[in-house]
Structure 1
Amino acid sequence: MDQLLFPTDPAKEHLIDEGCFIVEIFNQKTSGALSIAQARVESGSKTEPHRLRDMQEWYYILEGQGQMHIDQKTFGIRKGDVVYIPANAVQWVEQSGTDDLLFLCICKPGWTAEHYENASS
């Protein structure tokens, strides 16, 4: 990889069907090793239950607080926490404070739409 800097454009934040706003930070399509995105869940909102097939994911919480749901487990999350989401686990997050929940999503391998599966009943 010759490129050493990957500028991020916050103006490219967009709402996705899952129910949160995303800014893609890094997704080296050619290597597929990992991807990084910033996600934002607005006050009083939650994402749709979903799973990432054959993909591990980590959240690093930058701001706010909420409730994380992974399969049958639910726990509180807040600024500074790291959450590990195993491949194929049903997951969703809900914002539970007054401020938006802002976090980094790190996926391995890098995120592609083919891995995403809606798990809503």
Structure 2
Amino acid sequence: MAEDHKIVVANDKGEFWTDERCYITELHNTEASPEASLAVARVEVGVTTQLHSLTGVIERYIVRQGEGMLEVNGVRRKLMVGDQAVIPAQAPQRIENTGSVDLEFYCLCTPRFFPESYVNLEQ
């Protein structure tokens, strides 16, 4: 009988700092599942992430802690716990932690995030 599923062994990378000015914990990002990736981003109080876009990748933010001001294509919108945002591929984006605790949100990317898709728009 052919195997119709894949098991992905947990990575031991844990949370890591990025040049985007936030911490990332990758929950799911593997070649075995190229259609999507899932991570948790953590932005410290008062920090605004780097203005960037993702080439060919649609990103969704789902806020799980804190609050922030999301900017997409120059339009700013407040996000709070439970709020979700769908960010089109190639759209300039960044988020500012406007709250009193670390801002944490899930980042669901389709197709999966890969470093070559990241474009720094502050250079």
Report the number of matched residues: 119
Which residue in the other structure is 1:18 paired with?
A: 20
> For 1:1-121, what aligned pairs fall within 5 Å after superposition?
1-3=5-7, 7=10, 12-120=14-122
Q: Which runs of 5+ in 2 are unaligned?
A: none
Distance in 2, Cα, partners of 1:113 & 1:60: 21
Deviations 1:36-79 (A, max 9, x none): 00000001111000000011000000000010000121010000
Residue 29 (structure 1) shift: 1.4
4+ residue runs of structure 1 moved beyond 6 angstroms? Answer: none
| TM-score relative to the length of structure 2 | 0.90
Which structure has the larger Rg over C-alpha atoms? Answer: 2
Residue 7 (structure 1) shift: 4.7
Q: CA RMSD in A?
A: 1.6
User: In the alignment, residue 116 of structure 2 is paired with which amino acid?
Assistant: E
Residue 2 (structure 1) shift: 2.5
Distance in 2, Cα, partners of 1:82 & 1:6: 28
